[in-house]
Structures are given as structure tokens and as C-alpha cells.
Amino acid sequence: MKKTFLLSAAALALIASPFAFQNSADAQISTRSDAMTIDPQRGVLTMAPLLERVTPAVVSINTLDEGDAPDEDRELSREEQLMERFFGGRLPNTNRGPRAGLGSGVIVDADEGLIITNNHVIEDADEITVTLEDRRRIEATLVGTDPDTDIALLKIDADNLRELRLARAGEAKVGDYVIAVGNPFGLSSTVTSGIISALGREQGGGLNRSRYENYIQTDASINPGNSGGALINSKGELIGINTAIVSRSGSSAGIGFAVPIRTVENVVEQLRENGEVRRGRIGVIIQDVTPELRAGLGLKSLNGALVSEVGEDTPAEKAGLESGDVVIAFNGDDVIDSSDLRNFVGLVQPGTRADITYLRDGSRRTTKITVEAAPEDETPTRRASSEPEEMEMMEAFDGAEVSNIPDELELRGGEDGVYVANVDRGSRAQRAGLVKGDVIRKVGKNDISDLDDFEDAVRGDGPFALQIERQGRNLFLAVK
């Protein structure tokens, strides 16, 4: 029986990937070891050799927000008004006094003492203290933050630090074995394991912390205090920074999220150089390709970002992009949906010259585009509404009153098109997403000048892909 166990454990060890780790304190000498191996003295399967090299690079981060001095004359917040109403008086220093915070961080450059963590871990902190695995406590300085990806970069002055090697971007796959290292609930150097459950998660479980979302989802246990900690692969390489969980209780429910290493590298590079992240944009509004739009536009795939509008005098217009184009690749990376394009463009430094590949009328085209700087107050490349995802219409436009555009209307897109004068509540047209005031500019590939053009374009059973103007913005809808 014992012989059978050892044989099985050895087989598992054979399939584990080797790992490489950089140690600045040892002149950056790389060593190699099995991620899982048999301890020859105890005869047990273990990852101890890997973790002995990895955990010193994951630190504990303590923050202190001194708060503001109480001001008896200031206006109470809604929360404080409720407290005063139900408890009969203002609580001392409510939301105003010193507040302590706890999180994790990862040393990525031992020579410079650079540490990655989450922005929400150190946000509003007046003091940031890093505690190393050897119990040294060192005051950290903030190099820069990027709230849009929830990444922050710290710096400490210390010797004999360990750093984590970064994994190669794009190598992670669903099903890969991963390990989360951090300080949940203040329990330093806690290690949990699992697999990658999904890639490219956006708005996971209602996450709204960052605007550029492309999370790694894992079932490795992540809890409060793990934020900013490391998610590593079986070679001991950093593949992501743990940032959030979905849970009703506040503790791990097996759904955790990490910012992928590709995003982390881009942000850290800019923070090191500039102290801030400078966003890029190309000047388009985009949406996903739904099954209905795919049929209505005659596309072969759901992949890509559908361009619903191109801004005037923008990089996209100069590159020749038009409304109705479907972007399928950006700078060599496949674009699966609109969030992919938004992330790729938003994380590119302004001035970068990039290749963009798109579909137009069934043909594949590639051109060059120069990414420009996005205004500071601009939201990311936006996704126009593509609602609803499920259409129930059996007859096109049932419940919609469509007419020529009234003369008194001044529209951004000009006078060509037809006007949706009314949509009956609960009708198939309403369920298709049409609303009163929409202007239909195009049906499929057919430009619409007036009601006659529209009636000719919608003969048959459909589906019909409509390009409409709504409140000054263009978007696509599909009706069956």
C-alpha cells in the first residue's frame, strides 16, 4: 500500500512544472526545483521548497488614515444623520478619526525596493508601513497609484529583499494550478491553492472598483487582507495581484479575482516612469456583437467589438474606421468583445502606433492607428447599449410607430432616416430595445433616407440590424 502511494505521488511530481525564482540578495542566481516534490525524509508530497522561496516576497501592509479633526459646524452626511436620528446624538469622531487598514503587497524589484499592492489598500492613507516576513517593519513611500486598475506602487529602503519573477503575459489558462499568498485577517504568509476558474472576467459579481477590468477568476481562498497579495503559478511566477472577492458573508466563497500580470506590468512601468498612468484612446464607441446582430449584419462570428460611432477628428476617423466596422484585433491581440478593445486601448501609452484589424462588408482589413491621450475626465472607451440580449419579436417592429423625421427636429446625424414616434409598452418593439425618439439611420447595409427606404429595407422575416441615433449617440440593435 505504501509503495502504491509513493508511486502515485511521484507521478504527480513528474507533471508539475519546474520553477525559477530570482533572488537579488544572492546576485540574481536562478534555481530550479519541482513545484510539487516528494520530501525524501518524510515521504510526503509537498510544495514547501517552492513556498520557502516565494513567501518572503509577499509582505504585509498596514495603513493609517489620521482623518480630519471633528468640525461641529460641518454638514452631516446621510449616514451620520441616520446615526443621530436612531441613537440620539452624534457618535464621537464618526468617520472622521484615525482608521487603520491592512492588506498585502508583492516585492517585484528587490534592488529598488518596489512593491505592488492594490490602490484600495493604501487609498487616503497618511502612513504606510510594510512588514517583511522576517518581521522588519519599514515605512513605505508611495510612488504612484492607478485607481482605474486598482494598482498602486510603493517603495521601501531595505536590504536582503526577495522578489517574485513575473510570469509571461498571456500564458495563463483556465485549469492552471495557482497559489494565493497574502495576509488574510492579519494572518501573515497565508497560502491557499486552487485553479484558474476563468479569464477575462469583467464586472465580476458586481465589482465596480476599477474601470479597466480583465480579471483572473480563481477558487483559491481569498479573504479580507489578501488584497494586493500574490497569485502565482506552479513555477512560483507572479500571474496576478489579488484584488476582490464575490461573497455574501465577506469571506471566501470560492470566487476571487486578480488583476492579470499583463495589466500590472503596463501600469507599473508607467508609474515608475511618470508617477501616474496616461491613458490612451482612439475615439470610438463600441458594443458587443450579439447573436441577433451577428445574423442581422451577416457576420460569421460573435467575436470582435462593433463600432457604433466614430468621433470626429479622432485617431479612429483618421485611420479610416467607420460605424459598423467590427474590430477583431488590436496590436496583435485578438479582440473577443468590446471590453477587450477597451482594455487594450486604455492601457496603451498615448503616442503608440498600433495595428488595428477590422471587418467591413465581410472583408478583413488592417491599418495603422496612433493612440492619443484620453482626457482625464473621460470614461474608458465606452460600450454602447446592446440591450436586450434576448429578442422575442416574431414580427419586426410590432408596436412601434415609425414616420419620416419631423422638420422641427434638429438631429446630430442629419435629416436622413426615420423617426420612432411611439413604442407601445410591453410590445415586441419595446422588448427589442426600441424607444420613442430613436432615429433609424441604417438597416443592415442599407442607408435609410425616408420611410419608403425603410419599408423596402425591412421586407421579409429578418433579422434586421438597425443603426440608430439615440440622444446624440449611435448604437446598433437587432430585431427579428
Which single residue is written with the C-alpha cell 427589442?
432
Contacts 24+ apart (CB under 8 A), 10-18: 10/38, 12/36, 12/45, 13/37, 13/38, 13/45, 16/234, 17/233, 17/234, 17/235, 18/235
Instruction: List C-alpha distances in Å: 400 to 19, 21, 270, 371, 421.
Output: 63, 64, 51, 41, 8
Is 249 labeled as catalytic in the residue annotation? Answer: no
120 a catalytic residue:
yes
DSSP H or E segment with residue 268: helix 261-274
| CA separation for the pair 311, 330 (Å, rounded) | 18
Neighbour-count burial of 364, counting CB atoms closer than 10 A to its CB (0-12 exposed, 13-18 middle, 19+ buried): exposed
Query: How far apart (Å, rounded) are the C-alpha atoms in residues 418 and 402?
Result: 7
Backbone torsion region of residue 332, taken as left when φ is above 0, otherwise alpha when ψ lies between -120 and 50, otherwise beta? left
Catalytic residue among 227, 252, 339, 386: 227
Q: Which residue is catalytic, options 34, 109, 148, 150?
A: 150
Asked if 448 contacts 454 with a C-beta cutoff of 8 angstroms, the reply is yes
| Separation of alpha carbons 324 and 134, rounded Å | 58
**Residue 55 near residue 190 (C-beta atoms within 8 A):** no
Options 24, 34, 104, 120, the catalytic residue: 120
Let me know if 7 is exposed, middle or buried by CB neighbors in 10 A (0-12, 13-18, 19+): exposed
Residues 6+ apart with CB under 8 A from 257: 201, 204, 207, 215, 216, 217, 218, 222, 242, 243, 244, 245, 246
Cβ(386)–Cβ(293) below 8 Å: yes
Measured distance CA(394)–CA(463) in Å, rounded:
10
Report whether 286 contacts 384 (CB < 8 A).
Answer: yes
The question of whether 251 is a catalytic residue gets the answer no
221 near 230, Cβ under 8 Å? no
Q: Following DSSP, what letter does each residue of 148-189 receive, concatenated?
A: TTTEEEEE---SS---PPBPPTT---TT-EEEEEE-GGG-TT
Residue 25, classed as helix, strand or coil, is helix
Distance separating alpha carbons of residues 417 and 345, to the nearest angstrom = 32
Give the catalytic positions in this structure.
120, 150, 227
